[in-house]
Every structure is written in structure tokens, then in C-alpha cells.
């Protein structure tokens, strides 16, 4: 019995480029969904009204949401450049 397989070699550079594009598309989609969540939960509006840096604890309390989820949301928004991260001194 003879094995049936494709003997063509994988172009590692093209595969890498494809993977980077696919991952970029996935992360963009996640960020877009998180922007919508931030808008619907009034997270941006709440931060804007304060006019000062806010912690995840404060924002969660003011919006009646989970601090853990707000912390993750803030991290994503800061990484994407949607908000500015102001680290504690």
C-alpha cells in the first residue's frame, strides 16, 4: 500500500504572515466588541465625567459592575490606546 500525501513544502514565511494577519483580525474583533461593551455600560461616559484617573474598583462601583471584569476591560482599552494608563506612583 502506498501512502497518499502532498509532498509540497510549507512556505514558513507565508505561513507566519498569514498567522499574524489572522491574529490581528481576531484581536481587532475582540477590541471592537469591548468598545461596544464600554459604550453600553457607560464606562467611557463615567470616566469622562470624573475628569481624573480612575481605578478599576472605583469604576466598577460607580457602574455597578464586576471589578475583575472592569480591570480586564481597562487593560484591553489601555493596550489598544483607547484610554491612557496612569500607573500609581
27-50: pLDDT as tens digits: 999 999 999 999 999 999 999 999
Instruction: Tell me the pTM.
Output: 0.76
Q: Would you say 56 and 70 are in contact if contact means Cβ atoms under 8 Å apart?
A: yes
Separation of alpha carbons 61 and 59, rounded Å: 5
* pLDDT of 7: 64
Domain ranges of the chain: 31-89
Amino acid at each position: 500500500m502506498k501512502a497518499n500525501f502532498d509532498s509540497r513544502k510549507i512556505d514558513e514565511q507565508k505561513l507566519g504572515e498569514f498567522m499574524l494577519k489572522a491574529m490581528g483580525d481576531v484581536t481587532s474583533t475582540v477590541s471592537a466588541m469591548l468598545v461596544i461593551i464600554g459604550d453600553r455600560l457607560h464606562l467611557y461616559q463615567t470616566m469622562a465625567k470624573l475628569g481624573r484617573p480612575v481605578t478599576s474598583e472605583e469604576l466598577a462601583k460607580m457602574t455597578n459592575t464586576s471589578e475583575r471584569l472592569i480591570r480586564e476591560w481597562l487593560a484591553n482599552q489601555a493596550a489598544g490606546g483607547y484610554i491612557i494608563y496612569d500607573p500609581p506612583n
